[in-house]
């Protein structure tokens, strides 16, 4: 051994490496501190990039968990709004998935995963491309197309290719429930203490009753939780999706401590949803209960117990009961009863009905590929003026509006081709999840529960979609991508369960060594 090599080994000794890492960390922390004094947004971006780099270098799949956590907590948008982080960095954070994607496709040389439902996703993209070309404002439609390409196609293909085993799926579910519990806990804390002026760094925003209000209105009642999203109905939708998933994963969780922890997280998530007072979320709850009865997780005798629970819930949140009772305004929408001047829930419901019917009229005029992605608001005024229904008076708002319905929006912006592609994507994904559930129901019921949980999560989102359009669409695409990944993993998981473990990470990637069959050389028959 030469003197040079001995000196090199001394320089690379664990103690020297530790001291060097400590010096770099202290220097980086000091630099970030200096930057934070002048440009806090830049300091946050630098710290986040450094943390993401360390995580992905140590464990590439940790990047997947990081992206899921950032997306579902809406932390990137909060950072832009609260700390002045440049929008570009907040919008580009899913690029972190490149690390685990490269690990699986290049280092492990695994094939590209294209679930059966991918065909319908690309068909939806084709409909949007055609709609963009034919749109009245091609540049405006191009923005919607690019959003779909990144938040839709890009996120979907990345997620289904980085989620490769059941162990990773479980960890993602735990991360989602941890986010739901944290957000729900902040919401419950606000509700109990009445400290609505504290939005907890932007992760527990509230909206006061009354359009455009930022504070209490006389006689308006308590505020509605809006979480990190800033919009109460979207917050309720995002939280509701996690409830059936958490409930089913908790069902057979062991040990008991873990079961109690996941059950508590699911309960906090549910309470966070309730504090938003969303009637669309209530419709989603009804749909989830119907699916639970269909899959025999809930018997008819359990419904009586649930009725008692709902009564207790309404006693704790009387505002929610009042909002649901206000749906009686649906019986007051008849023509001539106030028209466009109607106020309260009557006017609100007329406005929403007008928005949905305007979308239907757009579809009628553009039946093949619609008016183009993101173009509903450009055509709202013209088509809302054409809404004439004998059953109720239309209410046309003086500002641009959205369709206020997922299905009316897809029909208006994607036409028949878009509707076929959208429902095909959901139907094929749900079918594959059902097949995975049937496969594991008797052998490993906890895996069947995982598949069923995603079926119910999709049902919750689609149920609330009746009265909510596809805004904050990353929530939908991460859900449909995780559902497709779940079906793909569970349908290909061997019955022996040998692949139900995470991949070992090391600096040198070694190929898997499969056990030799009995009777082969080196593995004789017993």
pLDDT at 164: 92
Residue 382 in contact with residue 400, Cβ under 8 Å? no
The pTM score is: 0.83
Task: Please write the tens of the pLDDT for every residue from 298-347.
Answer: 877 777 787 888 888 777 777 777 777 766 555 555 555 444 444 456 66
Instruction: Dihedral sign for Cα 78, 80, 84, 85, please.
Output: positive
Task: Please write the tens of the pLDDT for every residue from 504-515.
Answer: 544 444 444 455
DSSP 411-471: HHHHHHHHHHHHHHHHHHHHHHHHHHHHHHTTT-HHHHHHHHHHHHHHHHHHHHTTS--S-
Task: Please write the tens of the pLDDT for every residue from 477-504.
Answer: 999 999 999 999 999 988 765 556 655 5
pLDDT at 3 over 50: no
Task: Please write the tens of the pLDDT for every residue from 112-158.
Answer: 999 999 999 999 999 999 999 999 999 999 999 999 999 999 999 99
The share of the chain scoring above pLDDT 90, in percent, equals 49
The residue among 390, 330, 336, 384 whose CA lies nearest residue 358 is 384
pLDDT at 308: 84
Residue 273 in contact with residue 226, Cβ under 8 Å? no
Task: Please write the tens of the pLDDT for every residue from 424-465.
Answer: 999 999 999 999 999 999 999 999 999 999 999 999 999 999
Task: Please write the tens of the pLDDT for every residue from 24-38.
Answer: 444 444 444 444 444
pLDDT at 523 over 50: no
Question: CA-CA distance, 482 to 491, in Å (whole number)?
Answer: 14
Residue 271 in contact with residue 235, Cβ under 8 Å? no
Place of tokens 């008797």: 442
Task: Please write the tens of the pLDDT for every residue from 255-285.
Answer: 999 999 999 999 999 999 999 999 889 889 9
pLDDT at 12: 45
CB atoms under 10 Å from CB of 517, counted, come to 8
Residue 157 in contact with residue 482, Cβ under 8 Å? no
pLDDT at 270: 96
Task: Please write the tens of the pLDDT for every residue from 374-405.
Answer: 999 999 988 988 887 655 677 777 777 888 89
The residue among 87, 271, 247 whose CA lies nearest residue 173 is 247
Rounded to the nearest integer, the mean pLDDT of the chain is: 81
């Amino acid at each position: 051994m030469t003197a040079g090599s001995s000196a090199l080994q001394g320089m690379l000794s664990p103690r020297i490496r530790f001291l060097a890492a400590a010096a770099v960390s202290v220097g980086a922390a000091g630099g970030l501190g200096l930057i934070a004094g002048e440009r806090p947004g830049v300091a946050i971006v630098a710290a986040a990039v450094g943390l993401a780099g360390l995580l992905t270098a140590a464990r590439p799949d940790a990047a997947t968990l990081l992206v899921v956590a950032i997306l579902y907590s809406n932390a990137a948008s909060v950072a832009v709004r609260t700390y002045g982080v440049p929008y570009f960095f907040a919008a580009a954070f899913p690029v972190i998935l490149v690390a685990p994607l490269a690990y699986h496709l290049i280092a492990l040389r695994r094939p590209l995963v294209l679930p059966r439902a991918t065909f319908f996703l690309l068909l939806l993209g084709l409909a949007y491309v055609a709609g963009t070309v034919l749109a009245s404002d091609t540049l405006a439609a191009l923005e919607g197309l690019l959003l779909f390409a990144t938040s839709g196609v890009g996120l979907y293909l990345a997620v289904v290719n980085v989620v490769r085993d059941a162990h990773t799926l479980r960890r993602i579910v735990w991360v989602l429930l941890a986010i739901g519990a944290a957000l729900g806990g902040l919401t419950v804390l606000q509700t109990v203490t009445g400290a609505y002026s504290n939005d907890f760094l932007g992760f527990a925003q509230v909206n006061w009753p009354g359009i455009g209000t930022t504070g209490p209105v006389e006689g308006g009642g308590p505020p509605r939780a809006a979480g990190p999203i800033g919009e109460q109905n979207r917050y309720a939708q995002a939280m509701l999706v996690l409830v059936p998933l958490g409930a089913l994963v908790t069902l057979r969780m062991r040990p008991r401590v873990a079961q109690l922890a996941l059950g508590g997280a699911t309960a906090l998530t549910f309470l966070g949803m309730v504090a938003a007072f969303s009637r669309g979320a209530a419709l989603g709850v009804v749909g989830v209960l119907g699916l639970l009865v269909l899959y025999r997780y809930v018997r008819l005798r359990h419904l009586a117990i649930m009725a008692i629970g709902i009564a207790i819930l309404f006693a704790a949140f009387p505002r929610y009961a009042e909002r649901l009772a206000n749906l009686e305004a649906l019986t007051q929408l008849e023509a001539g009863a106030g028209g466009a001047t109607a106020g309260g829930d009557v006017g609100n419901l007329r406005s929403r009905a007008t928005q949905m019917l305007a979308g239907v009229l757009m579809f009628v005029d553009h039946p093949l590929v619609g008016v183009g992605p993101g173009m509903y608001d450009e055509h709202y005024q013209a088509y809302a003026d054409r809404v004439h229904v004998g059953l109720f008076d239309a209410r046309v708002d003086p500002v641009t509006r959205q369709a206020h319905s997922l299905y009316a929006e897809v029909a208006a912006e994607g036409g028949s081709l878009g509707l076929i592609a959208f429902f095909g994507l959901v139907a094929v994904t749900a079918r594959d999840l059902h097949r995975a559930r049937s496969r594991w129901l008797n052998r490993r019921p906890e895996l069947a529960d995982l598949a069923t949980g995603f079926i119910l999560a999709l049902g919750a989102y689609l149920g609330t979609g009746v009265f909510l359009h596809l805004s904050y669409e990353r929530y939908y695409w991460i859900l449909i991508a995780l559902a497709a990944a779940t079906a793909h993993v569970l349908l290909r998981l061997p019955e022996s369960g040998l692949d139900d473990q995470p991949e070992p990470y090391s600096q040198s990637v070694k190929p898997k060594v499969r056990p030799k069959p009995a009777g082969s050389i080196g593995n004789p028959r017993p």
